[in-house]
Amino acid sequence: MSNNRTVTLDEFIIRRQKDFSFASGELTGLLRDIGVAAKIVNREVNKAGLLNILGVADKSNATGDEVQKLDLYANQKLIDCLKNSGECCGIASEENEDFIPINSVADKSSKYVVVFDPLDGSSNIDVNVSVGTIFGIYRRVSDANSPCNLDDFLQKGTKLVAAGYVLYGTSTLLVYTTGRGVNGFTLDPTIGEFCLSHQDIQIPERGNYYSVNQGYYLKFDVEMRRYIDYCSDMNYRLRYIGSMVSDIHRILFQGGIFLYPNTRKYPQGKLRLVYECNPLSFIVEQAGGRSISSQLERIMDLDVKHLHQRATIAIGSPAMVDEMKAFVERYSALPTFGK
């Protein structure tokens, strides 16, 4: 692909499909539909302050978080785009308690299901801090001639066929993988197209950033507190804006480690495994990074028991996640005095 010619997301996806003769084009269609939904959400995110879609929608979502109006808008747009495409047979969203079966369009039974967090970090919306959409795509495991079922969504991260995020920041970026590397596309508002801007993204081996909610320091387990002390001793810089997509995006591009360990309030961790941790772990691993839980298990190997399951996570540069793992193993092996 020539270096200076504009390559749109659509063109890139179609070209990549040609690499796989057996590709039916469904995944291509699905990725393109998500790109369309992202453009629609972006349009509203960018003018949210001008419309009456700021503020809390006096609702709470499947996991009890207050829902911002833009959350609901983004959720509905993604559902509408995916419903109309006929490219997927079911959806699971952070905003919906249960999964949503999608009837086949023109009797074409789709083989994919989509999981997403329509607007992650939404508590930042009212203060104009960047937010993001996270998605993952699985091949269905249920009978192709029947509606999708819960098993289609409770698959390990290792079964993802594609994952991505859209970051609505100073510019709007869509980053995705289909298991053959990670590529980033910046929305050019003058032509309304996502254009290839970051080809074959590789996470730095290590970086100078660590990203954790330092406010919970005293609520972390002692070995995690000692590791965070170590990050400070190493003069890593703390960067945390409370928007997982934004915090991890920085680390994907500049290196570092993002941590959301277990706390007293969230003994299983706060972040959701299905539509936050697994898709972002697939992307970071495809870019050469690592993603494990505070219990040092690979995130993408974790059993998925329910849609809104929470997980602890340490994700980022390989050398730094390996360092954290070794640190916690060493500390946990010490006698229990002083815990």
Report the nearest approach of ligand P6P to the CB of residue 310 (Å). 10
Only segment of 35-43, 101-109, 115-123, 150-158 that touches ligand P6P (CB under 6 A): 115-123
Q: Using CB under 6 A, which of the segments 6-14, 116-124, 307-315, 323-331 binds ligand P6P?
A: 116-124
The distance of closest approach from Cβ of residue 237 to ligand P6P in the complex, given in angstroms and rounded to an integer, is 17
CA gap 244, 134 in Å, rounded = 10
Most distant CA pair in the chain, distance? 66
Is residue 290 near ligand P6P by the rule CB under 6 A?
Answer: no
Name the helix (H) or strand (E) containing 58: strand 56-60
- Work out whether 243 is an interface residue with ligand P6P (CB under 6 A): yes
**Does the footprint of ligand P6P cover residue 279 (CB under 6 A)?**
no
27, 119, 167, 187: which one is catalytic?
119
Q: Is 249 in the site for ligand P6P (CB under 6 A)?
A: no
Single out the residue of 242, 295, 306, 330 in contact with ligand P6P (rule: CB under 6 A): 242
Only one of the segments 15-23, 106-114, 117-125, 229-237 lies at the binding site for ligand P6P (rule: CB under 6 A); that segment is 117-125
Taking CB under 6 A as the criterion, the residue among 29, 35, 118, 121 binding ligand P6P is 121
Contacts within 8 Å (CB) and 24+ apart, 144-152: 144/109, 144/111, 145/109, 147/89, 147/90, 147/101, 147/103, 148/89, 148/90, 148/99, 148/101, 148/102, 148/113, 150/99, 150/307, 152/89, 152/90, 152/99, 152/113
Q: Which is nearer to ligand P6P, 77 or 270 (CB)?
A: 270
| Nearest to 181, CA basis, from 68, 41, 286 | 286
Could you tell me the CA-to-CA distances from 292 to 56, 196, 223, 297 in Å, in that order? 33, 29, 15, 5
95 is catalytic: yes
* Gap between the Cα atoms of 300 and 136, Å rounded: 12
Q: Which residues are catalytic?
A: 65, 71, 94-95, 117, 119-120, 276
* Chain contacts with ligand P6P (rule: CB under 6 A): 120-121, 123, 213, 242-244, 247, 270-271
